[in-house]
């Protein structure tokens, strides 16, 4: 996912999905899925951008349900709002991520 490429995301998704299947409460795996789907939507890798956005949101929400104090989980939720053009709504999540891990 940190390759910021279509191929990198394609390689990361099944690994995160496997991690979630093994431990549905693994917040960071949900956050990783949100991160990759965000990239798919934001960078235009996905054929269906709305579906990628919905998956990014769903996994960000799942990550926060499992661990609301994880800075990465808060970061991915903040980025979900970028996809919707709601930059002001993203700021509290991004600020919280920074507060949790300055």
Q: What is the mean pLDDT of each run of 10 residues along the chain (102 residues)?
A: 82 97 98 96 94 97 98 98 94 97 93
What is the Rg, in whole angstroms, of the alpha carbon atoms belonging to the chain? Answer: 13
Cβ–Cβ < 8 Å for 71, 27: no
Task: State pTM to two decimals.
Answer: 0.92
- Predicted confidence at residue 4, as pLDDT, reads 78
Q: Count the neighbouring beta carbons within 10 Å of the beta carbon of residue 18.
A: 11
- Predicted confidence at residue 86, as pLDDT, reads 95
- Predicted confidence at residue 2, as pLDDT, reads 67
- Predicted confidence at residue 74, as pLDDT, reads 98
Query: Torsion angle of alpha carbons 61, 42, 39, 84, nearest 10°?
Result: 0
**CA–CA separation, 68 and 87 (whole Å):** 21
- Predicted confidence at residue 1, as pLDDT, reads 64
């Amino acid at each position: 996912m940190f390759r910021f490429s279509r191929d990198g995301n394609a390689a990361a998704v099944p690994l995160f999905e496997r991690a979630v299947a093994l431990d549905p409460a693994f917040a960071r795996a949900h956050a990783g899925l949100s991160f990759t789907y965000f990239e798919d939507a934001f960078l235009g890798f996905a054929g269906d951008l709305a579906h990628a956005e919905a998956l990014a949101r769903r996994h960000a929400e799942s990550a926060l349900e499992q661990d609301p104090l994880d800075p990465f989980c808060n970061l991915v939720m903040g980025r979900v709002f970028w996809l919707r053009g709601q930059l002001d709504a993203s700021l509290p999540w991004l600020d919280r991520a920074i507060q949790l891990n300055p």
